[in-house]
Amino acid sequence: MTQTIARNEIKAALDAHEPITLVEALPEKYFNDAHLPGAVQINHDEVDTKAAMLLPNKSAKIVVYCSNMSCANSGKAATRLTQLGYTNVYKYTEGKQDWIEAGLSIEKTA
């Protein structure tokens, strides 16, 4: 089972410039509209094809998120990453909606 991580823990890691990789497990169009700072996009059904290129360090701290608590994409992506040998995977269950509602900064892709 994937460990979970809270918004304040992610924010603290980003503010402290700790090594953390955020992965949005939603289709590219949603990622382009808004994503957490520095996140990469890997839809839950693209993990096998994109993970090696975008996440080369299998021991890095990786936080997977999707839109909100009712979205299952982050869980699917996190499980698959673990199956592929990633050892430090977390799931931000509340997702992008929680981040935005807290008034935290987001990024957009042109």
Using only C-alpha atoms, the chain has a radius of gyration, in whole angstroms, of 12
The domain segmentation of the chain, as residue ranges, is 3-65+80-100
pLDDT at 1: 72
CATH topology assigned to domain 3-65+80-100: Oxidized Rhodanese; domain 1 (3.40.250)
Contacts of 57 (CB under 8 A, 6+ apart): none
Q: What pLDDT digit, counting tens, does each position of 24-72 carry?
A: 999 999 999 999 999 999 999 999 999 999 999 999 999 999 999 999 9
User: Among 70, 49, 61, which Cα is nearest to 89's?
Assistant: 61
- 41 C-beta neighbours (distance < 10 Å), count: 19
Q: What pLDDT digit, counting tens, does each position of 73-93 carry?
A: 999 999 999 999 999 999 999
Sign, CA torsion 30/108/35/59: positive
